[in-house]
A and B are shown apart, each in its own frame.
Chain A
Amino acid sequence: MTATTTERPAPAGTAVLSLEGINKRFGAVQALTDVSLDVAPGEVVALVGDNGAGKSTLIKIISGVYQPDGGTITFAGRVVHVGGPSEAQALGISTVFQDLALCDNLDVVANLFLGQEKGTAGWLDEVTMEKESWRLLRTLSAKIPSVRIPIASLSGGQRQTVAIARSLVGAPKVVMLDEPTAALGVAQTAEVLNLIERLRETGLGVILVSHNMADVQAVADRIIVLRLGRNAAEFNVDETTTEQLVAAITGASDNVVADRIRRNQAAHHAGAHDA
């Protein structure tokens, strides 16, 4: 392994969510081997890795969709067992899935509170939910024309906004975002990155899964690289170059992306030296 692991900046005591030695096997495939991850409150941790590196499996283990074969999950200082998506939600871990998991036929309010409806004895309290929806959308400074229109009539960025706002219902401590900018345009991506900043400002632990190095470097505090189901490297974002990241992700420092960056830097250095 060529990537160098920097010393771990997150003190284990302050982490709100901490995974230790997670293993997961699907038949003959060892999807995760001894994977660790920490998130502190008010910290954005980016989880990067190539296709098949185990990012999605790890996300699904944290959100309770899969059960790990081994390892411990510590949440808010307690070792927990996440038995299912609703248990994760009850603990305070919410997930924004890549395909958003919204119901097109329901309006914004219904989607925000789906599975966590407010009401008494099974009867919905629409007024409280609508009021709360506006509050949530306002904390994200989100622009949604109406909370009473079906999701189908919203743009891609607005849907992502609704999905992220939904992750805040029920006051979670950790929010996981799976490829939140994958299908978005430039302006909408910027809007979503702003939302992530705001999540950090409100003191949440954020886990961001992304393929986009620019996005990761724009918002993350720490970057955890997975490769072939193992922790490959961990970086502080300020001390990291794209070159190092790419090298850690691909497991090799000799590829075209890294080469070009190196050439550019060499040229830049040469230029600086001349002047």
Chain B
Amino acid sequence: MSLRPLLIPALLLASLIALFGALLLGSTPMEASRVLAALAGMADATDVTVVWQVRLPRALAAFAVGLALGGSGAALQGLLRNPLAEPGVLGVSASASLGATFALYYGFFSVSAWLVPVAAVAGALLATMLIAAAAMRTSSVVTLILIGVGLSSFAGAAMSLLMNLAPNPFSLSDMINWMLGSVANRGFPDIVFAAPFIAAGLTILYAGRRGLTALTLGDEAAAGIGLDLRRQRLLVVAGAGLATGGAVALAGAIGFVGIVAPHIVRPLVDHDPARSLIPSALLAGLILVLADIGVRLLPTEFELKLGVVAALIGAPAFVWIAMQRRTISAEQG
């Protein structure tokens, strides 16, 4: 109870430490003094390049993607009143990937670099709208998740079809990048193109956070206490679509972090979806920065994808949360 005001500052501090740690660690570890000098631009050119061109954008990309996915996950869970809702599980990330790959491999990229995040956001919005529409017809979680599975499979298949027919050359690893997600080799320009969408999405979700608490009572009672249901659904659909689209344009479809972070945060904020929004975003950012440090440090011949690590941790957590829910609903009869 009394520790709750410290939650956000603690997560911010931990994120800063993790981001700084991401600058220290890598194939050639650097001491803190060298990193600080490089950050200030007062070190030799190699160090400055490593810190400013490689490590910092990569760590910031991981953090931004985590913020977007954690925030979207928490908001979707509040809207659908379900701890298993998340952009990855609901097929939103896969649909965004489809949009992004379409823009990339069919030459739209050369028209404007903005078209990649725009296409990803369009894919994500389409999926969130579909899920929100389905959620109005059915209260069954299983149905929603099955729709998500269907969307993911369809997006995956459409993506491989698109890539096979693509006029631009691609490699199998490109596709794996989009489907599993990675922040390797991301630079500041990549972040600049994704950040406005992530920022806009998270701002919209934050603006609609109070309504998420109201939805705790169910649609009918929430409307009765003065919530405008249509507006609330629209806010979450738009916010989660923008943020997830931006994240996917930056790093591909990284799954499960949007489930794990809110799940850890929820008991610390009395299960209030509104108060879980910011801590969930920060924690997801922290998790992805740490996971990306892990990816870079693991002595594997080919670097693991960040999305692989996220799924290795997140998928078992998903199964565990799903099984917990089953016991609860069985008890309630």
Q: Say if A and B assemble together.
A: no
Show the binding face of B for A, using Cβ within 8 Å: none
Show the binding face of A for B, using Cβ within 8 Å: none
